[in-house]
Amino acid sequence: MRLHVLRRRPPPHEGRKARWTQTFIDPDDPRDNLFVPGMGHLGFGLPMANAAKLLHPERTVVCINGDGAMGMTSQELETAARYGLNVIVICGNDSHWGMYRPLGEHIFANPRFGTRLTDVQFARVAEGYGCQGETLASIEELPAAFARAQAAGRPALIDVPVDYTPHPMDEFWMQVVLRGVQIAPCAVD
């Protein structure tokens, strides 16, 4: 399944959700997909979505975030509510730092590497900032939840439970970035 973006700007943050977003988003115009490649900008998706909505209030602006990035900049929901920036945030929530989970589990052979996060109820956080918040039971509920978010008349966050799924680019790290690096398993007490 590919998502076709019609005059919308979906800024994903970076990391795992960004990799999957870039795999399935097919914008009509490259300028309709805001994305900063590389590393080191965890959580910039929501501030960028707010800026896109400020510049283009007539467009539907969608931010696709993971729970780690959402935890970094969730306060930007307050900014969106205060300025009437009716962005829609889709938060893929697996309670992990998904970008680092493969390192802990596969490279360091350590399931306690520190990638597990608290199960934050981001829909409730959104409501606390004056936004609409909705937690889904499954991904199949997303189309109807998205329609409700579009009709909300205020910023909206849809908290979607997701399972960790390795991305084909994960092998890039092992084969290119970490090629020749000697890494030994480590124990954490």
Rounded Cα distance between 137 and 106, Å, is: 29
Predicted local distance difference test score (pLDDT) of residue 125: 97
Predicted local distance difference test score (pLDDT) of residue 9: 39
Question: If the chain, 189 residues long, is cut into consecutive pieces of 10 residues, what is the mean pLDDT of each piece?
Answer: 37 50 60 56 84 91 87 94 96 75 68 75 97 95 95 97 73 70 63
- Alpha carbon distances (Å) from 153 to 53, 54, 130, 147, 187: 13, 15, 11, 11, 50
Predicted local distance difference test score (pLDDT) of residue 83: 98
**pTM score of the predicted model:** 0.73
Predicted local distance difference test score (pLDDT) of residue 72: 86
Predicted local distance difference test score (pLDDT) of residue 134: 98
